Structure 1
Amino acid sequence: MTPELGNEPVVAVLAALAEPTRRHVLDALAARGTATATELAAGLPVTRQAVVKHLAVLDQAGLVTAHRAGREVRYRPAPDALAATARWMADLADAWDQRLLAVKHLAEGTAAE
């Protein structure tokens, strides 16, 4: 079975992670475990407003969750969407391995004749 890219959660994760700053935001959040946009912006070369926008995209992709703690909004990594994307990528790699093995067998069979 060939994995299809029409899987919307996978598409959202790949689109979110395609932007380098979002990967940096997610890495920083993963290192901290939980943080506010202000805390994350302090360690990144972008404004707090930019971090908030990146966190919104990551949230829509299911890569982070937000919860209010008093006046703060705290974010934490959400591993399920990333794990599902990793499984999709592993399935895709397996499908390509099978195709390449079939090509190899075909080429070897042709060369042996």
Structure 2
Amino acid sequence: MGCTLAYRMQAAGEDAQCITGVPGAELLIAMLDAPGGHRIELLQYLAPADRKHFSPRPCDVGSVHLAFTVDNLEETMAGLLDAGCVVHGRPRGPPGKELVYLHDFDGV
């Protein structure tokens, strides 16, 4: 999707707990440089062990939604499917303005 990895790091201990408010938090952090000078921070919690998984519908409170404009939707979708994403439905909309929903391997 045109992003490059700026850096990757792991955060744990008192600082991670203080920043997130989650006792025992341990995170894997990836910072991406995106087109247009934007930065995207991706977090993966490695701990605590009792973290929960839930699958909200897009309309449910707590659902996460990120939207990206891409040059080639079919090519982008193919790459995301190869990475383990799941497509919901099929692209819809006027030519050049099609939209599609995907979930990543964690259900986001």
- TM-score band, normalised by shorter chain: under 0.3
Rg larger in 1 or in 2? Answer: 1
More strand by percentage: 2
TM-score (norm 1): 0.26
TM-score (norm 2): 0.26
Higher relative contact order (CA 8 A, sep 6+): 1
Higher helix share: 1
